[in-house]
Amino acid sequence: MSKVTVNEDVCKGCGLCVHACPKGVLFLSPDRLNAKGYSPAVVRFAEKCIGCAMCGMMCPDSAITVEKE
Binding site for ligand SF4 (CB under 6 A): 4, 6, 11-17, 20-21, 23, 25-26, 41, 49-55, 58-59, 61, 63-64, 66
Residue 41 to residue 65: CA distance in whole angstroms: 12
Least distance CB 30 / ligand SF4 (angstroms): 13
Round to whole Å and give the CA distance between 60 and 50: 21
CB of 31 to ligand SF4, least distance (A): 16
Residue 38 C-beta: closest distance to ligand SF4, Å = 8
- Picking from 61, 60, 46, the residue whose alpha carbon sits closest to that of residue 21 is 46
